[in-house]
Structure 1
Amino acid sequence: MKITFYLSLLLAGFHTVAHTQLPPSDHSGHDPNDPKHHIHHGGEAIACLKLVPSNADFAFQLFREVTQEAPNKNIFFSPVSISSAFAMLALGARSATQSQILEGLAFNITEIQEEEIHEGFQNLIHMLNHPEGGVQLNMGNAIFVTEKLKLLKKFSDDAKALYQLEAFTTDFNKPTEAEKQINDYIERKTHGKITNLVKDMDPQTVMLLASFVFFKGSWEKPFKPELTEEREFFVDAETTVKVPMMHQMGRFDFYFDEDLSCTVVRLHYNGSATAFLVLPGKGKMKRLEQTLDKETIQKWSDHLFQSSMNLYFPRFSISGSYEISNTLRKMGIVDVFTNQADLSGITGTSELKVSKVVHKACLDVDEKGTEAAAATAVEIMPVALPPTIEFSHPFLMLIFDRDTNSTLFIGKIVNPTITS
């Protein structure tokens, strides 16, 4: 019988921001796909950029699967947290188990070598942990192992070098103590945002892998709290809730996608963070969910233009907690959850399989973020009142990292008054 290998994926707290990237029409004037844009990272971005198409395909495929499983619920998760954890798991996987993991992460292993994938993730994690000013971003991995098992030196050395892995000895025979050790670690790494990630642990567990990402930042143009007012949010045809609606009048990056009947607004944060706020026309959310992909994001980015508007956007906090083993099975990652699993590159024994994959993410959006900028800018507004765009029914929020072209977070907000 296979020993249980409990794999837990953790995503960290996200406070008013997520780090960001988008394709060329970035307000800084840089083309993020231009390697010169990344000279300060010593050319690391070139390795990162090889991951971009596959990581984006994985992110949107996972989004489609999760939305099908929970069509009328808030969704918030970090694709890059999940993909980096499974890429690290592939380091210790062998034969079909390894190829299923890499192909499930949307890599074409005839076009990109395994070594290039790991090198790309190494550089991605390093760059995300050293963002440009204005944001706080931490990403990493930890493995908790019973004393009876020893990690193979090659796996331990490679995982530390490539994925910044920290390893800890844990007594899973004392599940309450084990849970506290793991949860305390994650809570500390996510600055208190993610708590109680692990609960009701199987005492047969011999190993647990945790992956986390934490982001904290502030809007480039903060909303004024005194302008926030309660307004109606239309959850569906029968349900209306009151939400604190932030308000700002100014010039914003804007695009209306006629094909998908959705309004796109891009907001910037201090540093290199950007959020795409996507408001589909009523009744159009399902089509948007089913067709959203990296080409759509690129089209939006290329067509954004500055437009004056009255923007209303809710202040809210949501979290998502998922057990995604079945979702990943649908995406082709099958053997690792069965007795056919070959994870012999981790400990030298083939008696390991993954029992559970837990992912938890949080999002807080408010007027300021963590800091208000000291500088003051005065915008000259036209005499005629600009159009009003109000996020008063379900919408998407996508957060990107410009330096690494990574989709850090994907959210679907159906009801901003429900926190989990």
Structure 2
Amino acid sequence: MMASVFSHGLLLLAGLCALLPRTQTTDDEDPYDPSIGSWQCRKVALTICNVSISLFKELTQQSRDGNIFFSPISVVASILTLSLGAEGNDSQRILEALKLNKTGLSEAEIHKCFQYFLRATNQPAEMSPMISGSSVFIHQGLKLVDKSLKGIKDLYASEVISTNFRESSKAKAQINNHMMKKTKKEIGTMVKELKNDTFLALMNYIIWNGKIIRYYSCHFLRMEDFHVDHQKTIKVPMINNVGLFHLFRVRDLSSMVLVYTSPQVIPFTFFILPDHGKMHEVEQRLTYPDFRRMFQQFSLRTVKVQIPRLLVPETHGVESVVNLLGISPLFKKAAISSVAVEDTVQKSFKVVSKAMLTLDGKDISTSPSSCLKKDEWAAVPLFQLNRPFLIFAQERTNSIPLFLGRVAIPRR
């Protein structure tokens, strides 16, 4: 693990795969720029995808065999949110570290692309299984500088809330209660520890309750073996289903791939199952063009699937990412210059990104007897996620990488 350069204080950027906030403005106040759209922002989305694979590979080196799950768009957005307060050429150097300077867009246009991504992805509740939002807590008596405040509200749709961080227990309760209310109790405890020298807490969240949409009557839950490694096997509740999926083999990655593309959910979801003993090799060989080539192999077919019920919350420090990018000093300066306070220069902060995906199958009630004895399913191919696998979820319209990770233990 890379050593953190941040020793105390807290900037908490946390959430269930943070980002994708619902706008806080009315239609009359909406600052959205209609001149920015999919065509102008396509290179930004592609850059984020490529950066996400690099970050994933770094995380695999830090955790060889455990769960890894994060939101690439949220990590990049957290860095860009803080870059709004950067002085001089610091913000441009941050864009260079993220390779966003090669998109051909200005800094202002890049931020507007993120605004567009949020707007395009944030579907009405009745159409989307996602819950999302963003809040900034700032110590009472302090204020965000004007350019940071405007960008945080207009571009990243965050609300700003005054908090007395000197009374850390009350501040922690305020944040946790606020997040519990905003997420309809999906998030129980957002903050477990909060130091009294905190001056800013930026919280973004997205909750994706994934579902396997059924096209046939054959679906049920049953306890099955999940082989964590060649020595350890655990019992997990497995969703058994017969449905329409894209199933194919990627020879270059020594993997079988199942892709879920139902129009009833926002993301394309890739489940990548490496051959036995090939996980680490696949992780290091993986590139974003691999996913782009997979689209050419799409062929919808009937498949019997066994997918474990998933509850995979993982926490990763964004400071290790900025260390990797070589912009730790710039990141720190940008965060400090976002707040109008004289003594903040002497303080450090910590950035945390928490990601969660659930695939629960709560509404599955059909018994195995309704489909296991049907002879017509005998020739249908079987796809079993009964050992560690990779998962990648990409927003459908703009190809934004929402989630990326390795599932080594399905439920935590």
TM bucket, shorter chain = 0.7 to 0.9
Among 280, 290, 299, which residue is 2:293 paired with? 299
| Residue of structure 1 in register with 2:44 after alignment | 51
- Could you tell me how far apart the structure 1 residues matched to 2:216 and 2:55 are? 32
| Residue of structure 1 in register with 2:351 after alignment | 357
Does structure 2 retain, via aligned residues, the 8 Å contact 1:11–1:211?
yes
Does structure 1 retain, via aligned residues, the 8 Å contact 2:11–2:198?
no
CA distance 1:223–1:216, change in 2 (3 Å) = farther
Percent identity between the two aligned chains: 28
- Could you tell me how far apart the structure 1 residues matched to 2:321 and 2:73 are? 16
1:14-413 alignment, distance < 5 Å = 44-95=37-88, 97-108=90-101, 111-130=104-123, 134-216=127-209, 218-221=211-214, 227-269=220-262, 270-336=264-330, 343-347=336-340, 351-352=344-345, 355-367=349-361, 385-413=379-407
State the TM-score, normalizing by the size of structure 1. 0.81
Does structure 1 retain, via aligned residues, the 8 Å contact 2:256–2:274?
yes
- Could you tell me how far apart the structure 2 residues matched to 1:180 and 1:153 are? 28
CA distance 1:43–1:101, change in 2 (3 Å) = closer
TM-fit CA distance, 1:271 = 3.8
The amino acid that maps onto 2:391 is M
Secondary structure of the 1:141 match is strand
The amino acid that maps onto 1:8 is L
Moved more, 352-361 or 174-183: 352-361
The amino acid that maps onto 1:239 is K
Does structure 2 retain, via aligned residues, the 8 Å contact 1:140–1:163?
no
Cα RMSD, aligned residues only:
3.2
CA distance 1:242–1:218, change in 2 (3 Å) = closer
CA distance 1:154–1:100, change in 2 (3 Å) = closer
Moved more, 361-370 or 242-251: 361-370
Does structure 1 retain, via aligned residues, the 8 Å contact 2:129–2:208?
yes
CA distance 1:127–1:229, change in 2 (3 Å) = same
Secondary structure of the 1:92 match is coil
- Could you tell me how far apart the structure 1 residues matched to 2:128 and 2:210 are? 5
The amino acid that maps onto 2:53 is F
Quick check: 1:415 aligned with 2:409? yes
| Residue of structure 2 in register with 1:10 after alignment | 14
Structure 1, unmatched stretches of 5+, are 20-40, 373-379
Secondary structure of the 1:115 match is helix
Secondary structure of the 1:9 match is coil
CA distance 1:369–1:411, change in 2 (3 Å) = farther
Does structure 1 retain, via aligned residues, the 8 Å contact 2:208–2:356?
no
1:359-383 CA distances to partner (integer Å, 9 max, x unpaired)? 11222113367999xxxxxxx9967
Structure 2, unmatched stretches of 5+, are 1-5, 21-33, 367-373
CA distance 1:80–1:369, change in 2 (3 Å) = farther
1:170-218 CA distances to partner (integer Å, 9 max, x unpaired)? 1111001111112222222333223322232222111121122233454
TM-fit CA distance, 1:407 = 1.1
Does structure 2 retain, via aligned residues, the 8 Å contact 1:229–1:246?
yes
- Could you tell me how far apart the structure 2 residues matched to 1:415 and 1:330 are? 27
1:70-114 CA distances to partner (integer Å, 9 max, x unpaired)? 111112221112222221111111245423432343323583321
1:17-42 CA distances to partner (integer Å, 9 max, x unpaired)? xx9xxxxxxxxxxxxxxxxxxxxx98
Does structure 1 retain, via aligned residues, the 8 Å contact 2:259–2:269?
yes
1:131-180 CA distances to partner (integer Å, 9 max, x unpaired)? 59631434443221122322222321232111112111111110011111
Secondary structure of the 2:260 match is strand
Secondary structure of the 2:78 match is helix
TM-fit CA distance, 1:128 = 1.9
1:43-73 CA distances to partner (integer Å, 9 max, x unpaired)? 6333442421121122212211112111111
